[in-house]
Structure 1
Amino acid sequence: MHLDHDHTHDGPGAVSADALRPDGSRRALRIGLGGPVGSGKTATVAALCRALRDELSLAVVTNDIYTREDAEFLLREAVLPPERISAVETGACPHTAIRDDISANLEAVEDLEDAVGPLDLVLVESGGDNLTATFSKGLVDAQIFVIDVAGGDDIPRKGGPGVTTADLLVVNKTDLAPYVGSDLARMAADAKAQRAELPVVFQSLRSGPGVTDVAAWVRAQLAAWTARA
């Protein structure tokens, strides 16, 4: 089942014209997570599910090119009941399924809402991509872009649409910085220069507060969505 998607966005966090389902109920907030291969997108999704599952009704759609590996990881970790996790095999560049032809992802999201709804939140994880990865505004309402310090501390300076325009930039695996020679202060300054007032979170899922800051950002997005819808 597909909704009638007439998309009108006024900026980050704005509510699109398809905020209501055909029965008049508010649909779930959709947040996309993109980023390079190995940056920690799936681990961040898993951590968010653990942090939010007791307070929100949520589900996840994963994207892989030829496998269901990310969905299978989430299932093994038991972060959500199996019926709340769906996998899309894109068969092509991840851009295709999250930006160019979003029909498979839209169907997966809407099928989840039909099967286990009503939902508060759907997380849509892109397959591993590069710094140009962005989601169609017809698919998600807000975007998180995940990079990691092991990829080099010059990534924020290099920019690209994922780094510069995502509603939230997550710099992941900060615990590895001393071992890979990454300068976190430099990354923070470069991210600020590229993103102006758009938020940046530095995170390690192995130490410190973990996903706490990202979960708080998601809660704020949901509160704004609920109020505006």
Structure 2
Amino acid sequence: MPEPRQTLRLGVCGPVGTGKSSLIATLCRELGRSHALAVVTNDIYTDEDARFLRSAGVLDPERIVGVETGACPHTAIRDDVSANLAVVEDLEERFEPLDLVLVESGGDNLTATFSPALVDAQVFVLDVAGGGDVARKGGPGIERADLLVVNKTDLAPHVGVDLARMVADATAARGGRPVVALSRHDPDSVDRLAGWVLDRLEALRAGVLEPQDPGPMPAHTHHHTHTHDHDPAPQTSSAGAARA
């Protein structure tokens, strides 16, 4: 049996503006002092997210690579992951040994999820400014990603969101899967996020982390045998038929 891979590949996805790049920058600041990291970003026709992270100074710029997908970002993280996978493998080879590669999807909709062929675990990001009802509406990433982050919690009082209810709705939608309410200004929440990531890294290296696919479930079909009681069909006499 091959040795477990030593580098955790962690996907970060969610709608536009939920703070995915800021979350990645926060993780780089928190873990970069003790662990070796690299980042892959996805945008359609630009490397803007990669440039944002480089300008933030969270990692050596050579460890941050932008992929220009040329199409909807979810296609490059789920349907055809070859471009992303090639970049991830190149980073792992160039900067070996790496502890963590963070793969950020382009901003997409609530159905975007990563293929388990690309990442070992994935984080789905919502933010309170998107509305307190988003979490309870559900969707593949909200319900089944390895971790759901409710981001920018410090904004809740300013956008009229009941944070406790939003987190409770998210927890209920996920059936017990973990939820982290995060603000980059709150050290305790940052610690919880970083701790969860390190737990996944430890599980990977122990050979007990099985990548899950939170993607859309196949349509459910029902097979029923129906029996109906009908009144007998009216009998028409030949005489009646002749008169009709």
User: TM-score, normalising length from structure 1?
Assistant: 0.87
Residue 114 of structure 2 is matched in structure 1 by 135
Contact 1:191-1:200 at 8 Å conserved across structures: yes
Opposite residue 172 of structure 2, the aligned amino acid is A
State the SS of the aligned residue for 1:31: strand
Out of 199, 209, 212, the residue aligned to residue 178 of structure 2 is 199
Which runs of 5 or more residues in structure 1 are unaligned?
A: 1-16
Residue 203 of structure 2 is matched in structure 1 by 224
State the SS of the aligned residue for 1:191: helix
Is 1:164 matched up with 2:151?
A: no
Is 1:112 matched up with 2:87?
A: no
- Superposition pairs of residues 19-98 of structure 1, within 5 angstroms: 26-98=5-77
- CA separation in 1, counterparts of 2:5 and 2:200? 15
Opposite residue 157 of structure 2, the aligned amino acid is P
- CA separation in 1, counterparts of 2:159 and 2:55? 30
- Offset at residue 95 of structure 1 (A): 1.0
Is 1:101 matched up with 2:80?
A: yes
- CA separation in 2, counterparts of 1:198 and 1:210? 17
State the SS of the aligned residue for 1:171: strand
Opposite residue 122 of structure 1, the aligned amino acid is V
- Offset at residue 52 of structure 1 (A): 0.5
Which runs of 5 or more residues in structure 2 are unaligned?
A: 209-244
Is 1:180 matched up with 2:159?
A: yes
Opposite residue 103 of structure 1, the aligned amino acid is S
- Offset at residue 206 of structure 1 (A): 2.9
State the SS of the aligned residue for 2:35: coil
Opposite residue 64 of structure 1, the aligned amino acid is D
- Offset at residue 227 of structure 1 (A): 1.1
Structure (1 or 2) with the larger CA radius of gyration: 2
How many pairs align?
208
Is 1:154 matched up with 2:133?
A: yes
- CA separation in 2, counterparts of 1:149 and 1:25? 37
- Offset at residue 208 of structure 1 (A): 4.7
- Offset at residue 82 of structure 1 (A): 1.3
- Offset at residue 144 of structure 1 (A): 0.2
- Which whole-Å deviations, capped at 9, do the CAs of 1:83-122 have from their partners, x for residues lacking one? 2111100111111100000000000101111111121111
Contact 2:4-2:205 at 8 Å conserved across structures: no
Out of 211, 217, 229, the residue aligned to residue 190 of structure 2 is 211
Contact 1:44-1:211 at 8 Å conserved across structures: no
User: TM-score, normalising length from structure 2?
Assistant: 0.82
State the SS of the aligned residue for 1:209: helix
RMSD across aligned positions (CA): 1.5
- Which whole-Å deviations, capped at 9, do the CAs of 1:164-213 have from their partners, x for residues lacking one? 01100000011111111111121122112110110000011134535221
